[in-house]
Each structure stands twice: as C-alpha cells, then as structure tokens.
Structure 1
Amino acid sequence: MSSKDWLEKDFYAVLGVSKSASADEIKKAYRKLARELHPDHNPGNSASEERFKAVSEAYNVLADDRKRKEYDEMRSLFGSGAFRRGARAGGPGFDPSDLFGGGFSGAGGQTAGDRRFGGAGFSDIFSSIFSGGAGGTRTRGPARGRDVEAEVVLDFGSAVRGTTLPLSLRAPGVCDTCHGNGAKPGTTPRTCPTCSGSGLTTRNQGSFSFSEPCRDCQGVGTIVDEKCPECLGSGGVTKTRTLNVRFPAGVSDGQRIRLAGRGEPGDRGGPAGDLYVLVKVRNDELFGRVGDDLTLTVPITFAEAVLGTDLKVPTLDGSVTLRVQPGTPSGRTLRARGKGVTRRDGTNGDLLVTVEVVIPATVDEAAQAALRTFAEHTPGADRERIDSRLRRNEEPTGGERGWTKS
C-alpha cells in the first residue's frame, strides 16, 4: 500500500465508523461488512468483491494500533488528497514520498517494532519536515512508477502446456510530444522562482518552521508557461501498449505472474513499476486438475468391469490405453504416469482415471435372460453381516417372550 493510498482513502468511512471509534467498534463493523460482502455470498459480483477488498484493507490498518496512529498522523499533517501534482493540468496526484526522497511507503512487510517509512521512522520524518533537519530543503529525486495489474483468461490446455499471448494495456505513460516535461515543443519549463526549484516552501510557526509543497509549481520545482498541446502540461498521457506475455506450463487458476519493470514509467527518471498478471483458467469439459495431476472420469459397462477390458482414454496431447482388471469395482482410480501437468523441473504429474460402472435403466428380454443365467452361475453378494443384524433386530426380547395379555 503506497503513502498516497493512505492519504486519499478514508478508512473510517469505508468501515462506516467515526475517527474516535474504539477497537471493538472497528472490529464489529468489519465483521458485519465482511459477512455481507464476502465473495462466497456474492458470486460473480465484482462490485461486492472490490468493496470486500477495500473493507479488508481498511481493517488491516485500523485494527493495528501502530498503523492506525501513523495513518491518523499522516492525514492530519497532509490532509486527504490535499496536494496534487499537476492537478490543474490533469496530471497525476502529488505523492508525499516526494518529500522524503521517494522512499515513503505505507505499512506492511516489516515487523511491528521496526516498521519504517522508506527506511526512516515517523520521528525521522518529523525531523525532516521541521527546520533543523536536512529534509526541509531536499530536492526531489527519481520516483518509482506504479505497479499495474491485468487479468488474462486461459483455456485449460494452454494453462497446462504453457503459452505466449499478446496483452494490450491502457495505462499512463510519458508524453511523446514533450518527452515528459509538460512544455510545448520548442519551449522548456522554467525554474519556479518561489521555491527555487526545490518544490518546497518553508513557513515559520512559532518556534519551528514547516515545509510543504510549493503552491505555485505544485511541488514539481518548475513552471510550464506554454503547455504541451498533447498532455496539457502534465507530461503524461494514457497509452495503449501491447506486450507478449509468456505463461509457463502448469500455471494455475488464481496465480499472479510478475513482470518486473513493465508497469507505469517512473517520474524524473525513476525506474518503472511492475506488471502483475492475474491468471484465470477456464474449466475443461473432460479434465479436472488436482495439483500437478489431471483427473478424468470414464464410464464402463457392467460386463467390462466384470470381465476386464483395455480402456483407451484421451490425454491433452493424444491418448493412452489402460488395463481394467477383471472384477474392477465402480470408483476405482487408474493411473497413467507422466500424462499430467508439466512441473517447473520439467517432470510431469499423472493422469488419474476413475472408472464409473454404468447400469442401464432398461434392458430387453434377451439381456434379462442372460442376467438371470449369470445370477444362477455366480455367488450372491456377501451380506452376511447385514443379514445377521437384521435377524437380531427381528428376534423378540426376553420381556416380550414372557408377556401375556390380561
């Protein structure tokens, strides 16, 4: 979660509680919303799923005393969405990480006792903001681009074998007309006279001074007099780009694939973010999957189960013949080794074939006669334990034998 998320998202409003809500009130509100919005109770409802994620995100912050304190202090200092970089030109929002060298990040990953914002604790951030610290006049450096998420639906066979597909994305990118500086071609941005290019201004408040983003240049450090006609001075435009994404053999439903450096471009020469591709796999009409094994149910006749047979079954890349031994019961699973999902080490899982004996609903007279003959020449079902239990239940108790009607 980025620092911008912390500033722009009102977690109290998401949970429907006040800022002074107790921990028990927050927990109660979360549990109520989580039950109502859980994907299991709202299948196929994408809006409900997004709200469920937002509620979980809010609770993750507000349920942790340290995170909640840091969140409250950040929003008290900067205000929700109060500063926007390039807001007048429709550009991306101001990120408070710019005040601290691009390293400011919400919470997560570190232990509670050593959680840091960009390598510096919250007290260190205060020392940078207020006079006496070097951070008050720090020039903004490169900032990493945002991560991008996309979703791809694969058919069952492509997920098992692996495939490469083109993926079209619409995401912010550097304007090709002005190359990101926001100025009309032939002109250049000028250094902001108010902040001397630092992007920050300092004002005194009693015994200390407070640094904040420059209001004249929106914290950028430069002013564009003649704006680029393509991006209107923001330096960025929404682009459509196509990437060839390789999905490895054996990719599973719900798996996320990370493509480093294929996300949004960074600011001021910073590295690009990453692209995360969420994989959805369509169900197959024949095959199922359990880990690295494929599953298949094949119907066989009563005669095949009794007499045995050579059973030819399909695989994803052809077919294989399995031997059904005489007397095979319905529900037995046969294994075709190496006909399953390809693993990372190059080996394959197995194909698990479950045979299902099919009993016809009706048979003609000739078949009935054959079955009667079959029954005469085969032993009956072994139901001795059941029959003995029935006999015991039908015998009168001792009290019943000695009872007479008066």
Structure 2
Amino acid sequence: MKDLYKALGVKRDASQSDIKSAYRKLAKKLHPDANPGNDKVADQFKEVSAAYNILGDEKLRGRYDRGEIDEHGQERYAQGFGGGAGAQGAGGGGKYYQSSGGFAGADDLFSEIFGNFRRGGQRSRATKGRDRTFAIDVTFKEAAIGGKRRLTLGEGGKTLDVKIPAGITDGKQIRLKGQGEPGISGGPAGDILINVSVKSDALFERDGKNILLELPISLPEAVLGAKVEVPTVEGVVNLKIPAGSNTGSTLRLKGKGIGAKDSSDRGDQLVKLKVVLPEKPDEELETFISNWSRDHQYDARSKFGRK
C-alpha cells in the first residue's frame, strides 16, 4: 500500500499549505509537458496528483489518516458491489470518493501552473487517465459458471453491469477498459480494475475444471443401490447409486463442472461416496451383522499387504 505523504515528500503533520506547496513543486518537475516522451515520469506525475487529490482536501485527508479510506479514496470497509458483496461483506458497493466541495484539486492546480506551457506554443502531451480499483467477493457458483453483477460508482449513482467470467479463480482481476479517470490533454481514460476473491463453499471443491463433492449415503443405499438427489452448482440432479457401492467409490456427472453452461469443454462433477451408519446404535442391525459375519468373513484391509 502506498503512503500518500511519502508520495508528496511531506510529513504526516504537514500543514495544508505545505502540502499544496509540495504538490506545486512536484507537478512542475514531473508534468508531461515538461517531460515529453517519458512514461516513467508521467506515472509519477499521476501518483502525486492522486495523492494531492486526497491530502489537499482536509475532509478526505482526515478520513485517510483515520484509516476510513485507502490511498485510492475508497472506503476500506465498504468496497465492492451492490447487494452486500463487498470485500469485507458490507453493502453499498463500489464506493470511490471524490474531492469535497470548495477544494481546488490537482486538475485545477496543474491547469493554473501549466497554462504558460500552452500559451508558449508547446503542445500538451496526451496522458492516460488514472485507473480505479474495486474489490468484490463472488460465490463458488458464480466463479464456476459465471454471472453478472452491477457495479455502483461513487459519483451520481452511475452503474455498470460487469460480467463474471466462468471459471475465474481467486485473486484474478477483471479490467473494464476506459471506465476509469478521464485522460489528460485528450489522452484515453483509465480503466476500472476489479480484484476478485472467490468464497469457499461448504459442499464443493475445485480441481481444475472439475468440481469435487463428497456424498453421504446410507448402508441400505450402498448395499442395495438407489437413486438419490445430488446438489450441483446449477441445482439438484438425480444420481443412480450402483448396488454394492463402497466408501471412496467415485461417480461422474458429465458437464456439471467448471465452465459456462453452454460450453463444450466444461468440466465434470466428481461425486465421491461415503457410507454412513446410523448415528445411534441399532441393536437389530448389530445382531444381524453379528450373525451374518460368522459365515461371511472378508479382509477389508487386504490392500495393505502382509509383513
């Protein structure tokens, strides 16, 4: 995380006047008009301008100092999408703070500082606008088969529909081209960058393009076979359990894994069976097994081999 005070080269207790003076000095040194063709310096200029847009505004500076917003001006505990799916699980999604009223932001200051470049006949260098970063949590299901979310921006209630790609993994980033800050001197707009966190699921695990599920079955279902309901990321389906199934046996649901619903290379769901006995002891079952086992001995650990 970048420190905005370090970006401007001032101490945390600097006055507003000192902050403004530091920005003016750096802006004159780093502005693209004064450094044509130097992309590294252009990036530095955008960083100090972004820092001044927060620290130069007393209200936003106070919020930054208290840890309520980050170096991008985003609410630390309310980032994300509408419907309560923010990075910290809070609602109101995608907040991004602009300067408060009455504050002369970086755009205003460098227009004032660099007017003489334009009057002197030099052409201002077009510079791409600053990117804006958001964060969202998505469910296992959304990550598996894709979905759509509505992103609400901080200003004016503007919204954007964002497609969640099927198969996206935790930590990946979605880029919305040209939806960020406006460009400088006719340059292209920046992008919106959405950092994606995939929530774990109580039932499903991911293995490449496949989804893994452990399915408990009863003793009668294992011995006699049965047709049972099985959860998938698209809903419940029926699955035939073959007679004589064992714990560890794995059945396959074709095309129920990772990927878009209509995708030809979508993965499968692998259902691993787990035979579960009754929770409470059953005397009748114990008596039956005791009598049955006298004439039906078998070695359940034969695969271990013998010493």
Query: TM-score normalized by structure 1?
Result: 0.46
Matched residue, 1:252: 169
After TM superposition, list the pairs within 5 Å mapping 1:59-208 onto structure 2. 84-85=23-24, 95-101=30-36, 103-105=38-40, 139-170=123-154
Segment drifting more, 371-380 vs 318-327 = 318-327
**Distance between the aligned counterparts of 1:243 and 1:262, measured in 2?**
9
**Distance between the aligned counterparts of 1:246 and 1:363, measured in 2?**
51
**Distance between the aligned counterparts of 1:365 and 1:344, measured in 2?**
48
Q: Is the 8 A contact 1:334 1:353 kept in 2?
A: yes
Q: Is the 8 A contact 1:264 1:274 kept in 2?
A: yes
TM-fit CA distance, 1:256: 0.5
Matched residue, 1:223: none
SS of residue paired to 2:292: helix
TM-fit CA distance, 1:345: 8.4
SS of residue paired to 2:257: coil
Matched residue, 2:79: none
Per-residue deviation, residues 42-81 of structure 1 (Å, max 9, x unmatched): xxxxxxxxxxxxxxxxxxxxxxxxxxxxxxxxxxxxxxx9
TM-fit CA distance, 1:272: 0.5
Q: Is the 8 A contact 1:261 1:274 kept in 2?
A: yes
User: Is structure 2 residue 208 aligned with structure 1 residue 291?
Assistant: yes
C-alpha change, 1:155 and 1:94, in structure 2 (3 Å) is farther
**Distance between the aligned counterparts of 1:304 and 1:98, measured in 2?**
77
Matched residue, 2:285: 367
TM-fit CA distance, 1:350: 0.6
Per-residue deviation, residues 316-364 of structure 1 (Å, max 9, x unmatched): 2233333333333212221101011225982221111111111335423
**Distance between the aligned counterparts of 1:385 and 1:333, measured in 2?**
18
**Distance between the aligned counterparts of 2:127 and 2:255, measured in 1?**
48
Q: In structure 1, what residue type is equivalent to 2:285?
A: A
TM-fit CA distance, 1:381: 1.8
TM-fit CA distance, 1:94: 7.1
**Distance between the aligned counterparts of 1:385 and 1:344, measured in 2?**
40
The structure whose Rg is larger is 1
After TM superposition, list the pairs within 5 Å mapping 1:240-389 onto structure 2. 241-343=158-260, 346-347=263-264, 348-381=266-299, 389=307
**Distance between the aligned counterparts of 2:302 and 2:233, measured in 1?**
45
Per-residue deviation, residues 274-314 of structure 1 (Å, max 9, x unmatched): 11111122233322222222221111123332333333312
Identity in percent: 34
TM-fit CA distance, 1:250: 2.6
SS of residue paired to 2:142: helix
Q: Is the 8 A contact 1:159 1:250 kept in 2?
A: yes
Per-residue deviation, residues 159-216 of structure 1 (Å, max 9, x unmatched): 333222221233xxxxxxxxxxxxxxxxxxxxxxxxxxxxxxxxxxxxxxxxxxxxxx
**Distance between the aligned counterparts of 2:285 and 2:238, measured in 1?**
29
TM-fit CA distance, 1:373: 2.3
**Distance between the aligned counterparts of 1:385 and 1:157, measured in 2?**
38
TM-fit CA distance, 1:271: 0.8
Q: Is the 8 A contact 1:160 1:249 kept in 2?
A: yes
**Distance between the aligned counterparts of 2:130 and 2:158, measured in 1?**
16
Q: In structure 2, what residue type is equivalent to 1:258?
A: R
Q: In structure 1, what residue type is equivalent to 2:178?
A: G
C-alpha change, 1:383 and 1:350, in structure 2 (3 Å) is closer
SS of residue paired to 2:161: strand
**Distance between the aligned counterparts of 1:100 and 1:331, measured in 2?**
67
Q: Is the 8 A contact 2:126 2:186 kept in 1?
A: yes
**Distance between the aligned counterparts of 2:139 and 2:300, measured in 1?**
47
Give the superposed CA RMSD.
Answer: 4.2
Q: In structure 2, what residue type is equivalent to 1:84?
A: Y
Q: In structure 2, what residue type is equivalent to 1:105?
A: K
C-alpha change, 1:385 and 1:8, in structure 2 (3 Å) is closer
